[in-house]
Amino acid sequence: MTLDSLHLLFFKNYDEASLALSPHINCFIGENGSGKTNLLDAIYYLSMTKSAFAASDAQCLKQGADFFLVKGSFTLPASSSPEVIQCSLRAGQKKLVTHDKQPYERLSDHIGRYPVVLISPYDTDLIRQGSEERRKYFDSIISQLDHSYLELLIQYTFTLKQRNALLKQFAERHSFDRDYLLILDEQLVHAGTQLVQLRQQFLREFVPIFQRHYLELADSREAVSLDHKSQLPDQDFLQLLRQNERKDIALQRTTVGPHKDDYVFLMDDSPVKTFGSQGQQKSYAIALKLAQFEIMASRKQHKPLLLLDDIFDRLDERRIKRLLQLVANHTFGQVFLTDTHLERTDQALAGLSEQVSRFRVHNGRVQPL
């Protein structure tokens, strides 16, 4: 799969930009703050219908603008003609995503069609931050691979919001509607139990791939592992909801369920967050992303887009060398990378047989080099 062209209007710091892209390697060169990462984010947006970095779609609007547009032309191995994806948002209105000018009835139908993997300086946040970041990360991977998982996740999230709203209503109105609560509990149990099963099933496939990539990246030979921590496997979900009903009513929120799951990152049976060095944490995070790429390429039968943000500034020579070895071995398909120095990029990519396109980025303007 390749992204052949990219067009932006009023996206982040861009008034307008149009790029014809290499099917192999694309380098965005510019100073920090020039808009390099925003180009990667636009590509991510085309795949996932949301930003990798902004908390809301409104934050993708260029300052002073009331709409933005991101458009890309994709070529898939099984497709006889390019497929054009367009994402647009007008302030105060609903986001619109179209496939060959036809709007999706549901945005979830788009997820997974054009897979993407992003490796960025913020990847170690997965290790350092709370459980929500890790759940979002693995939910994103599994949702791109399994549409039924995404449907269950949407159903669970919607029902959870309904249940939490009902719990708040109990407190505000000093009333208690057990019948409605029981209906929501049953719906929550139906989706939640399956979510946990699919998460565990995914990890059984993912972990050995992740462990192999870590060994190839790391200097040392510490044993890494990854566990799924959930309340559900050891207890009946419906019974768990019953046991915590009074607590939920008091706190006005649902305190048990797969929305409380976590993924535990371990190194020699100790938390990577606490005992891993900065280098070990970087290797752990990159190994997660490389395993993500491999499993997506295998399941989708075409390689995801790979976005590499500021790797030359943030990674040491050993890890950069490993990533470039994978590029040279044709492990990856189409690659997009950012850097501040053209000479460094050219030196790193010297000797690769793939076609390389270079773009200069400056103050929200981009030109081919």
Query: Contact at 8 Å (CB) between 242 and 181?
Result: no
* Dihedral sign computed on CA atoms, order 195, 199, 201, 205: positive
Residue 363 marked as a ligand binder: no
**CA–CA dist 57, 351 (Å, integer):** 40
Kindly report the backbone phi and psi dihedral angles of residue 340, in degrees, each rounded to the nearest multiple of 5, phi listed first.
-95, -15
Query: DSSP of 41-86, one letter per residue?
Result: HHHHHHHHSS-SS-SSGGGGBPTT-SEEEEEEEEE-TT-SS-EEEE
In sequence order, what are the residues at sequence separation of 6 or more whose Cβ sits closer than 8 angstroms to the Cβ of residue 183? Answer: none
Q: Buried b vs exposed e over 124-134: b needs ≥16 C-beta within 10 Å?
A: bebbeeeeeeb
Name which of 275, 296, 245, 264 is nearest 143 in CA terms.
Answer: 296
Residue 276 marked as a ligand binder: no
Residue 225 marked as a ligand binder: no
Maximum separation of any 2 CA atoms in the chain, in Å: 72
Residues shown for the chain: 369
Query: Which element (helix H / strand E) includes 300?
Result: helix 278-300
Residue 32 marked as a ligand binder: yes
Residue 186 marked as a ligand binder: no
Would you call 367 exposed, middle or buried from its count of C-beta atoms within 10 A (0-12, 13-18, 19+)?
exposed
Residue 31 marked as a ligand binder: yes
**CA–CA dist 336, 76 (Å, integer):** 17
From first CA to last CA, the distance across the chain in angstroms is: 24
Query: Contact at 8 Å (CB) between 24 and 349?
Result: no
Which residues fall in the annotated binding site for ATP? 30-37
Which residues fall in the annotated binding site? 30-37
